[in-house]
Structure 1
Amino acid sequence: MLERLGYLVTVKTKNFEALGAFQNRPDDFDLVIADQTMPGIKGFDMARRMLQIRHDIPIILCTGYSALADE
């Protein structure tokens, strides 16, 4: 859907892969959308690391597991 709206989308299936891509080129990203429960590190930990690299990056974390959202 985002691509149909004209956005360039980078897709990773593991949070540690997403973090690596972000570490290599943090200025290439305008927004991060991630799942809290992807394989590897938790989404919250990934977001914290990304914010250390670039404090102004907007991050949306989502999950289908409500108990994790309360942590």
Structure 2
Amino acid sequence: MKSMMRLILSARIAKSALRVALVVGTALNLINQGEHILAGNNISWFHLLLNYFVPYCVASYSAARNQLTRSEDE
């Protein structure tokens, strides 16, 4: 578990996950709250942040798991 956390927090994986989160999170926010954002209405800030946080977690976990699996195969 320590090696998984070390990988998740590594600069390479964090940077890559951040890029994924920005693209996917923006798409999710436009889908879920787009009409409110464009109209200038109140939005749910919790959901806005969650739409970025979840893809970040998924991308970083997937990258770290992939790296661990590749290391085990060698």
Q: TM-score, normalised by structure 2?
A: 0.24
Q: TM-score, normalised by structure 1?
A: 0.25
Q: Which has the higher strand share?
A: 1
Q: Which has the higher helix share?
A: 2
Highest Rg: 1 or 2? 2
